Amino acid sequence: MSYLKDEHYIERVLQGDHSSYAMLVERHKDMVFTLAYRMLKNHEEAEEVAQDAFLKAYSSLKKFRKDSRFSTWLYRIVYNLSVSQLRKNKKQTQSLDDDQRPLDLEDTHQKMDRLEQDDRRKFIQQALDSLSYDEQTIITLYYQDDLPVGEIADITQMTTSNVKVKLHRARKRLHAQLGDILKQEINSLL
């Protein structure tokens, strides 16, 4: 089956075929849910925010200007809804200080390679949880949706230089946390 662009389904929805919206939901649900989940760190809340984001996007589809991608526009909605939810929950919304610990990437790689895939995934998730919500958003969009820094800045309403700084900080913190988790794990086994 040929791959049809988002714009094709958007046109169909705008012409009254609302069932075409299911294709857009199916295509973007994992990324939308991942963004909400990484920011909120709660499955139920993330699912609710992801649903709200799709409904809001549907209601505002007429206003969607095609100068940006549908996914970028949708992620901006998810990001804003998640930030509002965080404010409601009064959770920590500020970035943490820069992590100055030295990193040993080679050592982390060697330790990770010795683990089973499920364990590796679990430890990476734990390390990701230690990042602030905006760092998680940036690192997720950059590495898991291959978005350029400019588009991430558009979604998060930050400057591109700010996104670059946070991205670098997020990488360092992720590795430092991963190193700590692996060290603790090895110590607990000994």
Partner 1 sequence: MSKQNPNDLDKSTRRWMGEAGLEKPSTDFTNLVMEQVEKKPRLYPYKRGGNLFNTLLAVLVPIAYFAYNYMSGGSLLPGGFNLQTEAQPYVRVFQIVTEKVALDMSTPLVPLGIIAIVALLAFDRLILRSLSLNR
Where does this chain bind partner 1 (CB under 8 A)? Answer: 13-16, 18-19, 21-22, 25-26, 29-31, 33-34, 37-38, 46-47, 50-51, 54-55, 58-59, 61-62, 102-106, 108-109, 112, 117, 120-121, 124-125, 127-128, 139-140, 143-144, 168, 171-172, 174-175, 178
Please report how close the Cβ of residue 77 comes to partner 1 at its closest, in angstroms.
Answer: 13
Please report how close the Cβ of residue 120 comes to partner 1 at its closest, in angstroms.
Answer: 6
Backbone angles phi, psi at 122, to 5 degrees: -60, -45
Which one, 50 or 77, has the nearer CB to partner 1? 50
Burial (Cβ within 10 Å: 0-12, 13-18, ≥19) of residue 152: buried
Which one, 18 or 87, has the nearer CB to partner 1? 18
Cβ contact 49:82 at 8 Å: yes
Among 88, 76, 83, 73, which Cα is nearest to 39's? Answer: 83
Cβ contact 81:56 at 8 Å: yes
Query: How far is Cα 104 from Cα 7, in angstroms, rounded to an integer?
Result: 45
Please report how close the Cβ of residue 150 comes to partner 1 at its closest, in angstroms.
Answer: 18
Annotate 44-60 with b (16+ C-beta within 10 A) or e (fewer).
Answer: ebbeebbbbbbeebeee
Which one, 69 or 172, has the nearer CB to partner 1? 172
Please report how close the Cβ of residue 168 comes to partner 1 at its closest, in angstroms.
Answer: 8
Please report how close the Cβ of residue 47 comes to partner 1 at its closest, in angstroms.
Answer: 5
